[in-house]
Amino acid sequence: MENISVLLVEDNPDLAGSLADYLSETGFEVDFAFNGQSCLELLKEDNSYQAIIMDIMMPVKDGLTTCRELRESYHINTPVLFLTARDSLEDKLTGFASGGDDYVVKPFAPEEIAVRLRALLKRQLVESGGVQQYADLRVDYRLREVNRQGQSIHLYELQFRLLALLLRMAPEPVSKMQLEAELWPEGPPGSDPLRIHIYNLRKVLDEPFQHQLIKTVHGRGYRIAIPE
């Protein structure tokens, strides 16, 4: 499988090096810029990166200013994952208002960065109406079509959205709270409707086939797993 191309914008060479080492071992191809200005200059020459990891506090040009320029002046919509030591709600809202797509507070585990990057790319795929292949499951987001092992699977709208949410984070679990918040922003109707929709999704997505894709992770939620 082709590596995911990532631009890492971080002025701390030790942190940049250790994070890049981990990402390179887990399916990412990492390039570097050490401040916002060098990031912009690099993107003028090469706008083929699939994601950008950007520190906020940097010399020459900080991450918030850089991200705003990416969006407003260069019209670059590549997903941006902010790294910062600031963890207040106001700081996070400022990051999102500047055009960021996700926000990770230092110190962090490199595994979290990898998971969040993959989730951002999957979300972008859904929003752009692309096609996703996961194990023997194929999802066409533009046509709203689902196939498994070549067999067409009919899903109602909420079932399709539920599947898309699980695929966005696959193979990591998604909590019951997160699923309910995204499916029903104003609060879930009735008593535990998520359990019913998971049951119905399993009936059409898993029961006709030998291997189950939807797994319950006790205490953590649900996940889509690659069949063993």
Q: What is the CATH number of domain 4-125?
A: 3.40.50.2300
The pTM of this model reads 0.62
Q: Please check whether residue 191 is in contact with residue 100, taking contact to mean a CB–CB distance below 8 angstroms.
A: no
Q: Where are the domains of the chain?
A: 4-125, 130-224
Residues 6+ apart with CB under 8 A from 142: 129, 130, 131
- Going by pLDDT thresholds of 50, 70 and 90, the confidence category of residue 1 is very low
Q: Which residue has the tokens 């942190």?
A: 15
Tell the CATH topology of 130-224: Arc Repressor Mutant, subunit A (1.10.10)
- Going by pLDDT thresholds of 50, 70 and 90, the confidence category of residue 213 is very high
Q: 32-66, pLDDT tens digit by residue?
A: 999 999 999 999 887 789 899 999 999 999 999 99
